[in-house]
């Protein structure tokens, strides 16, 4: 889906980027921004503004409406273009290769820096049916400003918490930069826990519990959506990284304890089901680790 933005970004001049930024800022006030409002903010005549907007429309970066009044709004491709433009100014990216995962709330892309280092770009796409179901269960995001703005808020929220977790030593992908609805992170060499075949499952189980408790006690954060689908593991080294912190809760939240216990139970059940480890053994390790962290 980023192909549209990648092809468009090299064809934009400063006046086009300025118009896209303005459309984004005005999303909170309008569904479609009136042409007169855009022209006034840009300091241009309506005809000149219209030519810029038509150019952006031809690249599918914006959409228009003519009913009732002439107005324009940003598309997903337009937001992608803004985000990539900002990231390019923060770090030199050589290429964005391919989409490696499609989640309930975001797409994940692999990319490479000009220095050869690998990165991950997480691109929020809130508004999908699956995420709407999650939101209905636990409403974290408001939607009055539209899904583009909400996606940007969600990315900023996760970037901030990833930074906090990284700084206290929790094993998460290192956050590098945030731009609109995108998060740039260091690439982690592994795959999802549910796809792996572990040689030392109990050791990995202990590591996951330790990292989750470290987040709880040092960062005062509960993942609140933890399962075998958002733990990445390097099968050779058995290093793990906990990902997808978009649903996090502060530890003093009224439901934090309940979600923490659900997270732990999800991991316990996974190791019991896949590796046939006795439930009492797993729960005993969990409770011993909780006591060791001084959390009752």
Task: Say if residue 66 is in the same domain as residue 115.
Answer: no
Decide if 155 contacts 124 (C-beta within 8 A): yes
Task: Say if residue 43 is in the same domain as residue 127.
Answer: no
The reported pLDDT for the residue numbered 263 is 97
Last residue within a domain, chosen from 26, 56, 78: 78
Residue 103 pLDDT > 80: no
Please state, in angstroms and rounded to a whole number, the distance separating the CA atoms of residues 105 and 127: 8
The reported pLDDT for the residue numbered 100 is 84
Last residue within a domain, chosen from 32, 47, 78: 78
Task: Say if residue 125 is in the same domain as residue 142.
Answer: yes
Residue 49 pLDDT > 60: yes
**The CATH number of the domain where 151 resides is what?**
3.30.200.20
More confident site: 4 or 266: 266
Residue-number span of the structural domain to which 52 is assigned: 3-78
Taking only the tens place, the pLDDT of each residue in 6-48 is: 899 989 999 999 999 999 999 889 999 999 999 999 999 999 9
Token readout for 87 is 């990231």
Tell me the three state secondary structure of residue 174: coil
Query: Per the confidence metrics, is the pTM higher than 0.85?
Result: yes
Name the domain count of the chain: 3
Task: Say if residue 196 is in the same domain as residue 182.
Answer: no
Average pLDDT, the chain: 91
Residue in 112, 117, 110, 41 with CA at minimum distance from that of residue 72: 41
12-21, 62-71, 134-143, 260-269: least confident range = 134-143
Taking only the tens place, the pLDDT of each residue in 218-251 is: 999 999 999 999 999 999 999 999 999 999 999 9
Residue 133 pLDDT > 70: no
239 classed as catalytic: no
More confident site: 112 or 142: 112
Annotated catalytic residue within 47, 107, 115, 225: 225
Residue 137 pLDDT > 50: no
Burial readout 4-14 (b: 16 or more C-beta within 10 A, e: otherwise): bbeebbeebee
Sort strands 118-124 and 106-113 into parallel, antiparallel or unpaired: antiparallel
Last residue within a domain, chosen from 154, 186, 218: 186
The reported pLDDT for the residue numbered 116 is 87
The reported pLDDT for the residue numbered 138 is 47
Task: Say if residue 126 is in the same domain as residue 164.
Answer: yes
**The CATH number of the domain where 213 resides is what?**
1.10.510.10
């Amino acid at each position: 889906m980023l192909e549209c933005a990648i092809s468009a970004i090299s064809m934009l001049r400063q006046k086009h980027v300025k118009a896209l930024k303005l459309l984004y800022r005005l999303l909170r006030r309008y569904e479609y921004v009136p042409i007169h409002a855009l022209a006034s903010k840009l300091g241009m005549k309506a005809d000149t503004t219209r030519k810029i907007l038509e150019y952006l429309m031809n690249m599918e970066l914006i959409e228009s409406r003519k009913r009732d009044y002439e107005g324009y709004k940003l598309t997903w491709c337009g937001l992608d273009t803004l985000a990539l433009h900002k990231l390019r100014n923060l770090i030199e990216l050589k290429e964005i290769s391919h989409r490696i995962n499609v989640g309930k709330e975001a797409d994940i892309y692999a990319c490479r820096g000009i220095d050869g280092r690998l990165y991950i770009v997480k691109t929020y796409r809130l508004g999908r049916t699956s995420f709407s179901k999650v939101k209905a269960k636990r409403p974290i995001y408001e939607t009055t400003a539209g899904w583009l703005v909400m996606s940007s808020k969600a990315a900023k929220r996760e970037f901030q918490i990833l930074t906090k977790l990284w700084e206290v030593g929790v094993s998460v992908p290192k956050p590098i930069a945030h731009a609109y609805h995108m998060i740039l992170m260091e690439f982690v060499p592994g795959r999802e826990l549910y796809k792996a075949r572990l040689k030392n499952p109990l050791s990995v189980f202990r590591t996951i519990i330790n990292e989750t408790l470290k987040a709880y006690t040092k960062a005062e954060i509960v993942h609140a959506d933890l399962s075998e689908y958002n733990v990445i593991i390097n099968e050779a080294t058995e290093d793990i990284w906990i990902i997808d912190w978009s649903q996090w809760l502060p530890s003093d939240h009224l439901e934090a304890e309940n979600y923490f216990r659900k997270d732990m139970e999800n991991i316990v059940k996974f190791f019991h089901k896949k590796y046939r480890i006795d439930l009492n053994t797993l729960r005993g390790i969990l409770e011993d680790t909780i006591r060791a962290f001084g959390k009752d």
